[in-house]
Amino acid sequence: MHPDHKAPTAPAAPTAPTASTAPTSTPPPAPSRGGRRLRYIAVTLALGAAMFAAGAVVLTPDGTTAPRPAGHGRPDAAPRGSIEALQARVTRLPKDPGGWAALGMAYVQQVRTTADPATYDRAEKALRTSLSVQAEDNTDAEIGIGALAAARHDFPTALDWARKAVAGGPYSPSAHGVLADAYTQLGRYDEADEAVQKMVDLRPDAASLARASYAFELKGDTARARALMRRSLAAAATPADTAFAHNVLATLDLQDGDPRAALARTRTGLAAAPDDPALLETRARAHLALGDTTQAVADHRAAVAIAPLPHHLLGLGELEQSLGNSERAEESYAVLRAQDRIREAAGDPADTDAILFEADHGSPRRAVAMAERTLRGRPFIAVHDAYAWALHRAGRDTEALAQSDEALALGTRSALFRYHRAAIHHTLGDPEAARRDLTEALREPGFHPLHADAARDLLQRIDTTP
């Protein structure tokens, strides 16, 4: 799974607040294609059998494991509510800061499965209303604004609000979750690990266990990532939590070169959540890896119909292109270009989807400029990878290799990252390094509608060249 694509959202429905409680889970940044979403690793997190002791996980800096002391931390438990119920609540109680904060968080969650940017505005209005009602000691609203900033990929702002939330609510797992998300996307991985550890210490629920799983996935430890995500699945309290866990487990199956297991997993998830676009997209990838392009197209189209998000559109467009359906591919690309014009007009930095799309289907020079701007505010590994690919496509391979090395510094198992670096190595005249990366990339069959075939062709050329 690409580290920018399936970030650990653990997307529980927002909670209806009680006195001073925050929502039980705070969604991290919206996903984008390239996958989940690493730099130098100074501390290796370790998990063993002790992660199940007392229902807890402890990530320790010395590579050991230990049970969490019973009763450590105060949970932020509250009943859950729909957007409609929360709207009714704030209408009835317009001076309730917790109600406005929960409504804002509900909108933040909603925008992750829609393409309606107006939902961001509704989220911000609700959260700012909460702060206007109670400006001090309003941890719920601070968490919400931090999560909203992360959803908009404004991670410096997300970090500022997360720090405020942690200062005011040190026992809030959700506050530490937003902090972890911001640190991760800002390339501060050790600090992200510390925040995840605190979140797990406070409450080892689906959201915290999902983030712990992601910490291992970023470092290429899919076995521990899988064990933790199974734990997250067992702790799932909502259909969204359950669907998310099934989707991550399926993408880990794909990373491990087992598309049949991924297909079975997505079918299980879709039986409970038939309209989940992430599960539909992952099932499309499993079908593609197994050679069933008809079903792959059908699932991609279904995902786009539900949530016309950039990574869904790009996946569908490139799949159609790989099948020779140029007109249908162009339909998806036209929507992507329109979305990017809106982004540019708003002055927002590009996401990795937009950068990779521009590099492969537009102007590589423009893609380089887009990546450079994004990297200044978001030095995350997926952005390093997108920058590397843009530089390669623009003919700047020496610079591209440095960025590609940065993208793989923590050991992530992204097949796309590996293919990108292989192409760069080959252009720079290092076929042995290219072969190593291609071999790793092709452990995940069908990792990309266009680049998987290109990877196989390149490997064959290298192997047959005297």
Q: Which of 25-34, 52-61, 107-116 has the lowest mean pLDDT?
A: 52-61
Compute the half-sphere exposure of residue 451: CA atoms within 13 Å on the CB side of its CA.
Answer: 21
Burial per residue of 277-291, b for 16 or more beta-carbon CB atoms within 10 angstroms, e otherwise: bbbbbbbbbbbbbbe
Four-CA torsion 79, 82, 83, 87, nearest 10 degrees: -60
Question: Above 90 in pLDDT, residue 20?
Answer: no
What is the reported pLDDT for 109? 86
Question: Above 70 in pLDDT, residue 102?
Answer: yes
Helix-helix angle 415-427:451-464, to 10 degrees: 40
User: Per residue in 289-322, pLDDT tens?
Assistant: 999 999 999 999 999 999 999 999 999 999 999 9
Four-CA torsion 121, 162, 156, 46, nearest 10 degrees: -130
Q: Considering the chain, what is the average pLDDT of its residues? A: 85
Instruction: Supply the pTM of this predicted model.
Output: 0.84
Question: Above 60 in pLDDT, residue 163?
Answer: yes
What is the reported pLDDT for 65? 29
Read off the pLDDT band of 113 (50, 70, 90): low
At CA 338, angle to CA 400 and CA 103, rounded to 5?
100
Question: Above 50 in pLDDT, residue 398?
Answer: yes
**Which 8-state DSSP code applies to residue 450?**
T
Owner of token pair 């505010």: 377
User: Per residue in 191-230, pLDDT tens?
Assistant: 999 999 999 999 999 999 999 999 999 999 999 999 999 9
Give mean pLDDT, residues 97-125: 88
Q: Which domains, from first to last, does the chain contain?
A: 49-219 (1.25.40.10), 236-307 (1.25.40.10), 316-464 (1.25.40.10)
What is the reported pLDDT for 465? 86
Tokens of residue 258, six digits: 């087992």
What is the reported pLDDT for 118? 87
What is the reported pLDDT for 117? 75
Read off the pLDDT band of 115 (50, 70, 90): low
Are 423 and 458 a contacting pair, CB within 8 Å? yes
Structure-model confidence comparison of residues 4 and 410, the more confident one: 410
Read off the pLDDT band of 110 (50, 70, 90): confident
Structure-model confidence comparison of residues 120 and 71, the more confident one: 120
Owner of token pair 């993408």: 251
Tokens of residue 338, six digits: 């329109």
